[in-house]
Structures are given as C-alpha cells and as structure tokens.
Amino acid sequence: MRLSARALRLGALLVLLAGGCASPGRRPEPPPEVVPQVLPAPETPPAAGPEPPAPPPVAAPPAPVPSLPAAVRIGLATDLDELTLACCEAGASAEADDERWEPASAVRVRPAAGGAAPPVWRLQVAAVREENEAATLARRLEQLGGARANARFDAASGLYRVRLGAWPTREAAEAAGRRLQGRGLDAFWTVSEGAGLSDPALEVLIDGRARRVPGRRFVLRAPAGGALAHAGRRYRGALVAFLNGRGRLNLVNELPLEDYLRGVVPSELGPDSYPELEALKAQAVAARSYTLRNLNGFAEEGYDLCGTPKCQVYGGRGAEHPLSDRAIAETAGEVLVWHGAPIDALYSATCGGHTEDVEVVFPLKREPYLSGVSCIEAGASRLAAAAGTPAWPRAVTARAIEGLPGRLGSARDLELAVARLVAAAGLAPPADRLASLEGAEVRRFLASQLGAAISPGVFLRPGAGGEAAGAEAVRWSDAERALAAWLAADLEEGAAQGRPLAGARAEELLLRLAAGAGLVEPRPARFDSLRGRDLAVRTAGGEVGYRLERGVAALRDDGSGPRASELALAAGDPLVLWLAGGRLAAVVQEVAAGAPLLERSHSRSIWTRYRSDAELSVTVRQRFPGFDFAGLDILARGISGRVGRLLLRGRDGSTVEVSGLAVRWTLDLPDTLFSVRRVTRGGGASGWQFTGRGWGHGVGLCQFGAFAMARRGLGYRDLLAHYYPGARFERLESGGRDRLR
C-alpha cells in the first residue's frame, strides 16, 4: 500500500483535534481590487435571498428547537378584499371553526360584514425592502408630519409599506398630504386600512351557499399527495384564508417543512442551471436552518415566513425538481446549530470574492458563525512549486532530518537514514546494524533504534506481542497507529511478493517513522487566503496563519500521490499541511481527479452603475423626505470591502448617516461591495460612477461559490462549514434530535 497525504487524513485529524495550533491565527484581509477571469456561468442566477427581518435590539440566543414542526406557514399575499380558491381534486376538504366540507367547486372567502371597524385613510409614502430602513423612514415622517407613521410588511411583494397618519376620509388624507408637500413629502398616495376587528368572522361561499363562519381562519386542504391551485401556481398542503387585524385577508400556505423546502431549494438555486448535488444539499440544510430559526416571524399576520427574497423564494409544487428533491431527502431533518438552536443561515447569490461580517450589513445582528470568509469567486491564488523540490515524501523528511543519503536503495542506506532520524530526535541509539531488508529484520532493527521515541509494540508483527502489545496499543498516538498499520500491510505484502524495501517504499517508511517520532506532523486544513507569503487556512481548531518560508514544497495530489506542482488554490480547497519542528515544510493540495479549476467568477458578480445627481436626488428623497442631496462620503468598510456606513450630504449643510443594507437600497445598487467616483458626462451633466462586485447582501453562504466549490469535489458539509464557521450539524426528528459528527 502506498502512503500519501490522503491516507493519513483521518489519523491526522484526530491529532489535530487533540492538540493546539502551531501558529497564531490571523484575520484574512479584504480581497484586493482585482477583476477575476469570467467563468461561462449559467444564465439563470441564484436567488439573492434571504434578507432577514431585523432582530430585537437585545441579541439573546433563541430557545432550542427540540423537534421538527408539524407544519410551516408561508404568507403568499396580504390585505386582500376577497379570495377565491380554485377547487378541487378528489379528496380535498375544507374546514373553519368546527365545520367541515368536501367542496366540489371553487370557494370564495370574504371578511364578514361588520367584522371590522370603519376604515381609516392613510398616506403611503414608500415601499422599501429593508425593515430597519422602513422603521427609520417612519420615524422621520412622524417628525415631518406630526402624525403616527409605521411600516408593515407585504407578503406578496416582499416590501415594507411605510404609511403616515389616519384620517376618516380620503379627502382629509389628501388635504394633509398636500400640506406636507411643502415640507419635503414629494410623493404619496392614499390608501384605506381597517381600524381593528370586533367579532371576527368570515363569509364563505361554498358549493353555491353562503355561510358566516366565526373566527379568523378558513382552510382548504389538498388530498394526500395532491395540490391546490392559486394565481397560476400549485401548492401542497393547505391554503388558509386568514383574517388579519385590519379586517382583510392574508393567503397562507400551510404544509410540512420538507415539502416546503421542495419549493424553496430549486427556486433559490436552480438545479438546471446549477446541477451539483452537493451544492443543492448545502442549500437545503441552509434553507431548513433558516426556516426553523425564523418560525413565527409574522405570527400576528398568521404565517411564519413570506415566499419572497425577503425571507426565502418559494415557488410551490411547480418549482420542484428531481435533483433538488434528492438533495432534500438525503439531508432530511439536518440543520446547523449554534448553542443548541438553529442558526440564522443567511445566504446570497454571489459575494464578489469574500463574504462579510454580519454586523456590517445588518447592524443589529451579532452572530459569530456569520463572519466573513474568502470565497472561490475571488479567483485562484497561485502557489508556485519551489525550485528543486525533492520528490514526495523526501520533500517533507529532508526538512526534518539532516544528512539523509541521496537514495534509499540498500540496507546500508536505510540504516544510515534511520541513524540520522534518531539523531534528529535527540536519542543515543545502541550500536546495531541492519543485516537485510527482510521484514522481520527491519522490525527488529527499528525497535532497537527507536524504542525510546516510538512505542516498541508498534514494531511487532500482529499477534506477536500477545496481550501486552494489545494493552499498549490503546495508548498509541495516531501516528504510531498509522505506522503499525503500514508495517502490517505494506511491509508484509512487499515481503510476500518479493519486492525489496527500497526506493519509494523505503522513503514512505522513513516518513512514517518521522511522524511516529514527532519530527513531522500532518494537519488537514481548508484554504482561506494567500497574501504574499502569508498563508491563511481554516482547521478544526479555527483560523490559522503560516509563513511560507524559502523551500516550502507545494504538491498536488489527485489520488495517485503528491507531485510537485504550482497550486491554483480556491477558498475551501482541502489541504494537508506538513510541519517539521512546528514550521511549515510542505503544502499538499488534495483534488478530485479531473476536477475543474473554476478559478473564475459568476457573470453577475462584477457590475457598474451610473447615477446622475438628479437621479440620486430623487432616490434619496424617497427615503429621506425633505433632504436635498448634494454628495456622499464612505465612512466605514467591512472585512470584504463592503460599505458599512455612508454619509449623505445635503445642500443646506445637513447630513444623514446610512448603515448596513440600507446603503444598498438608498443608492439602488446590486451590492454594497463597491467603489465610487465623481464623473462628468457629455453635455456637462455630473453624476456618480459605482463599480462593484457581488449580488445580494454578501452574508453567509455564497450560492454560486457553493456551486463552484462543489464542482471541485467538496461535500455539502465542507461547504457549510466554510461559510458558517463554528456552526454544528444536528438532525432533528419528529420526536427528538441527534448530534451529527
């Protein structure tokens, strides 16, 4: 059997988990402003959700979820005056209060007459995507207009509607709006809202008969395995007409969690455009975790999550796909947890090379597992092979043992090499000679030379040591177990086949001996970044940094053994780092045979936008009524280079500071990872040129990055561990949970 870095991974991982890191960890720097080569990307980009509702100011871990919920409730539409539910497949049923029906035709539902107090009229000023931005705008409107303002989420559009005041008639509302126009309220329209419920009830027209049903819910349930249709889409489970506090109807799809995911995963990461099972499995676990973390997010509206990018894109039964169905089934119940609770598993379409710390984009959030990490979208980092690098494994042993013979072709050569190893270990070996390369003689000689550094039982043939050797084996290190296994297999097999212990096999033995004596150590890791000669990796113990000193070997292993090669390293790539005396001796990149490099970017990760002064003035005034925009300054950036705080300057000298995701919406840009410069175009018109990368908020999992990493051969747990560092895997069952290791 041939020893390779791949063969030592399991033992090395156990060693790593038991010990500390050799070098202090370093935080990766933001990626440089480079334009990566373009990968011919799929035409359909992944969805850019979710964009979460802001958490309460006090960040406390949510209560652990002990088991999977019986069903989840997804808001499809809100504030409807009337709802018609198409019907029905055989076996469909309807229920409200204590009544049950088996309808044969479409069902119409309305709020019951007298169920709501008289409506009031309000001024709708804006519909914005981000909750913090909506709340800020509402407070500004209150100051401007001297009337109550609020922001309410609309499930169908995924926007927060910002409304001001409450007047008894449309005329009174419009008159108030005209008065406010002179104070900076440039655009508005009048809308009516219910003023509250008294004696809530629904009017249901079913099979030609109208019924007044008390309560707030009417449920139309699909038969097992069937679906219900609404607005051109089909949905599993049940469609619920819910009477909200404004006296109008919300449409809710209520269905099992795993069925819900069948409509989410292909909507967020299309299997036809991104046909990588491991990426889809990562998306499934992230979506499941996000769902459980955000249950009851809109409880007063009768649902848990919306079906838009504000929460997660949900396409119903029509979006389902066999490949994403398989990904969901193979990860059934699996979630990521932090302190026992499902994580807020945010994700976005592309990240432009580096994800961002969550507090930069969502200032009220503080989640350690949502810290910025490098992404394959940054392109490949090149690590050149050192000139004159010895062949594997001499590239490692020569860094730990001085004076090795040029080749190991005889018993005398191996004897000399072991003597040099013994000296490097600081031992005084007994006078002894290696008489031959026969297996039993090699074992005897090694035990005599290294018995003080390696457990003597390692060198016994299996069964030769009786119970004493078996008891001793319990205390062996992982490197000693690996050495014993190699001696029991490769040494004995070679002897049986008449193959001499020389050349490559002798070099392999020497590496095993050096590892057993503690002179060299393999450490599995994942590549993070390379800045000059500083290598940053992620290990089971966290982020670690190493200095690439002169002579460090770079080797590539595609399953046939490590070979010296220039390495094209992308974030998340598996590595084995070989240390000699605590210093980096070799970097071995493990790749699947035939895996593409994918060192390029998604086609939508690089973008430019021009905004004239006039355009920006309108955009800014929509969010900050009365503010006369004159210019902007960037105040702070995050680890990825994303703009965390922006200062808007007004013509009258006033300023407004914008933070987090609101920067994106205020400037109407695809992402906050941008640079900006003042430009003047033909005709003397002035404006602002924005050049950026990424598409979405850039926090958590990068969907295209996960797809690209999966194509390099990484598994879904590798992807999730990279993008959500520190989170743990659990499988939730209907009645309990299991820890996944």
Residue 18 has a pLDDT of 32
Integer Cα distance of 488 and 393 in angstroms:
20
Integer Cα distance of 381 and 378 in angstroms:
9
Asked whether the predicted pLDDT for residue 468 surpasses 90, the reply is no
| Model confidence pLDDT, tens digit, residues 321-330 | 999 999 999 9
Question: How does residue 57 score in pLDDT terms, banded at 50, 70 and 90?
Answer: very low
Q: Which residue has the higher pLDDT, 72 or 196?
A: 72
Find the range with the poorest average confidence among 3-17, 92-106, 233-247, 426-440: 3-17
CB 310 within 8 A of CB 158: yes
Residue 43 has a pLDDT of 40
> Which tokens in the block code for residue 234?
């089909």
Could you name the CATH architecture of 8-30+381-389+520-590? Beta Barrel (2.40)
Across 218-241, average pLDDT? 93
Question: How does residue 461 score in pLDDT terms, banded at 50, 70 and 90?
Answer: confident
Element (H, E) at 701: strand 701-702
| Model confidence pLDDT, tens digit, residues 627-686 | 899 999 999 999 999 999 999 999 999 999 999 988 998 999 999 999 999 998 777 788
Question: How does residue 142 score in pLDDT terms, banded at 50, 70 and 90?
Answer: confident
Asked whether the predicted pLDDT for residue 107 surpasses 50, the reply is yes
CB 147 within 8 A of CB 166: yes
Secondary structure string (H, E, C) spanning 580-612: ECCEEEEEEEECCCCCCCCCCECCCCEEEEEEE
| Model confidence pLDDT, tens digit, residues 277-301 | 999 999 999 999 999 999 988 888 8
Nearest Cα residue to 687 out of 610, 605, 609, 590 = 610
Q: pTM, whole model, 2 decimals?
A: 0.69
Residue 697 has a pLDDT of 93
Residue 624 vs residues 97, 134, 335, 509: alpha-carbon distances, Å:
46, 11, 40, 72
- H helices of 451-559, where? 466-473, 478-486, 492-496, 504-516
Interacting residues of 383 by C-beta distance below 8 A, sequence separation 6+ = 530, 535, 548, 554, 566, 567, 569, 587
Peptide bond into 266 cis (omega under 30): no
CB 661 within 8 A of CB 667: no
May I ask the CATH class of domain 120-193?
A: alpha beta
Residue with tokens 């509250």: 196
Q: What is the greatest pairwise CA distance in the chain?
A: 109
Residue with tokens 């406390």: 60
Residue 144 has a pLDDT of 75
Residue with tokens 């008891």: 471
Across 471-480, average pLDDT? 79
Single-letter amino acid, residue 488: A
Find the range with the poorest average confidence among 182-186, 223-227, 381-385, 408-412: 182-186
Residue 719 has a pLDDT of 95
Integer Cα distance of 394 and 402 in angstroms:
11
Peptide bond into 24 cis (omega under 30): no
Phi-psi region of 93 (alpha: psi -120 to 50; beta: other; left: phi over 0): beta
Residue 646 has a pLDDT of 95
Across 487-512, average pLDDT? 80
Element (H, E) at 537: strand 534-539
**DSSP designation for 538:** E
Single-letter amino acid, residue 322: P
Integer Cα distance of 623 and 133 in angstroms:
8
- Angle among Cα 595, 596, 599 to the nearest 5 degrees reads 135
Residue 1 has a pLDDT of 36
Residue with tokens 């050049």: 691
Asked whether the predicted pLDDT for residue 149 surpasses 50, the reply is yes
Phi-psi region of 648 (alpha: psi -120 to 50; beta: other; left: phi over 0): beta
Residue 218 vs residues 106, 196, 354, 417, 659: alpha-carbon distances, Å:
14, 19, 47, 82, 42
Average pLDDT, the chain: 82
Q: Which residue has the higher pLDDT, 193 or 269?
A: 269
Across 369-396, average pLDDT? 86
Single-letter amino acid, residue 228: L
**Coil/strand/helix, residue 464:** coil
Question: How does residue 59 score in pLDDT terms, banded at 50, 70 and 90?
Answer: very low
CB 554 within 8 A of CB 389: yes
Interacting residues of 146 by C-beta distance below 8 A, sequence separation 6+ = none
| Model confidence pLDDT, tens digit, residues 560-607 | 789 888 888 887 788 999 999 889 999 998 876 555 544 444 556 689
Domain boundaries, the chain: 8-30+381-389+520-590, 38-70+261-377+698-741, 120-193, 402-516, 606-693
Residue 86 vs residues 109, 223, 228: alpha-carbon distances, Å:
11, 14, 7
